[in-house]
Amino acid sequence: MKRGREIEGCHEPRFCERKQCWQRSARGMWAGGMLLLAGMLAGAGGAAGQGVAHGPPATPASPAQSMKAKPATLDVEQIIQGIEQNQAAWGRLKGWMVRYVHAREQIEPPPGMLVLYGDNQIVNARKGKWLFASENQAMPTNPAHITGRKTWVLWKDGKYTERNQQSIQSRSGEPDLAGNLALNVFYYPNSLFRDFCSDTFTLPAEFWNEDEPSLTLPRCLSPHKKEYRVRAELEEVDSFPCHVLEWPGHDIIWIDDHCGFNVRRRKFFVPSGSMVFEMKASGFEEKAPGIWIPGRQTGITFNPDSAPPQYRGKIMRIVTNTLIEAQIGDVPDAMFNVPQARDSK
């Protein structure tokens, strides 16, 4: 399928400040990434029956995994505790790094809603309080006319450094949220629905009430225990039995408690009943005790109700994160470095 033009003259969609721009995200945390909720939550459209149409093939099931419907064994509180334990396991790591390709495929976006975006190789890493991210869209699979992004961002020892192509800036003290590139390019980690940033620099309480951050687990579950319920029976995703947490008409989460309480599938709806997005994660491997990461994440965003009638409920775009490599444990210090621009002294 073709990737094409979107907003005329919009080459930096994640930093766009136009309030009506569909690519603009609150704080930009997952802008253009797996979730793409910003600007849509007020009235998104989607046919709830539409599933993930483009994704990896189902993981073959072992005989032990093939099952008839079995009763759920965990309640909401126990699932929250399991997610908290997994979050703590991530926090105990000396460090971690993931390198992946972030790709966006336009399907049926309304007129004027395309964004020219080539495949992007991204690195996200943590070591202690240090945080690093980089982007590189100079990939041979991208059309030659796409101006590729090439960025680096580093938070290390109380100093924030950011480079975009040949422009580099560095300042002491915590970064402000409005221009924080680190929150823009943690696509893969944030699609695990875990908190990978708040122990590095300060994130105010109101930040977690905004669109995409509000979906972080277990943060979104704890204050809404009465709204969420666990379905009576386990349901399979790629032949793996999952507990299904549901806030009817709002959120459905398939959680594998044998796989680090990770999300294998999720659907999110708006009050009108329309589905905003559906995501799926597959190919999980245990890279360290209790640390399971997927080989691929697939997210579908649907056109909102505000789109022209012939586009409502149709798939706007499909986004994938395909893992290239992962290091779990002691990541080399050399990873946490922003190279100097050529014209820097």
- Whether residue 330 is contained in a domain is answered as yes
Tell the residue number behind the tokens 């032949």, with chain if given. 239
* Residue 183 neighbours by CB under 8 Å, 6+ apart: 27, 28, 29, 177, 197
* Residue 319 neighbours by CB under 8 Å, 6+ apart: 32, 33, 34, 36, 102, 103, 104, 105, 298, 299, 300, 301
25 neighbors 134 (Cβ within 8 angstroms): no
> Would you state the pLDDT for residue 208?
84
- Whether residue 44 is contained in a domain is answered as yes
How far apart are alpha carbons 6 and 156 in whole angstroms? 36
> Would you state the pLDDT for residue 31?
41
> Would you state the pLDDT for residue 214?
87
Q: Tokens standing for 231?
A: 């379905």
Helix/strand/coil for 15: helix
Side-chain-side CA neighbours of 67 within 13 Å: the count stands at 15
- Whether residue 113 is contained in a domain is answered as yes
- Whether residue 344 is contained in a domain is answered as no
The DSSP symbol for 181 reads G
Neighbours of 271 (CB within 10 A): 10
Single out the residue of 273, 272, 217, 259 nearest to residue 48, CA to CA: 273
Model's pTM, two decimal places?
A: 0.80
Please classify residue 151 by burial: count the beta carbons closer than 10 Å to its beta carbon, then call 0-12 exposed, 13-18 middle and 19+ buried: buried
- Whether residue 341 is contained in a domain is answered as no
> Would you state the pLDDT for residue 280?
98
User: Which residue ranges of the chain lie beneath pLDDT 70?
Assistant: 1-67, 139-147, 179, 343-345
H runs (alpha helix) in the chain: 76-92, 187-190
- Whether residue 210 is contained in a domain is answered as yes
The DSSP symbol for 189 reads H
> Would you state the pLDDT for residue 292?
98
- Whether residue 8 is contained in a domain is answered as no
Q: Tokens standing for 213?
A: 């951050």
322 neighbors 103 (Cβ within 8 angstroms): yes
Range of the domain at 135: 13-335
As for how many domains the chain has, the answer is 1
Neighbours of 204 (CB within 10 A): 9
- Whether residue 177 is contained in a domain is answered as yes
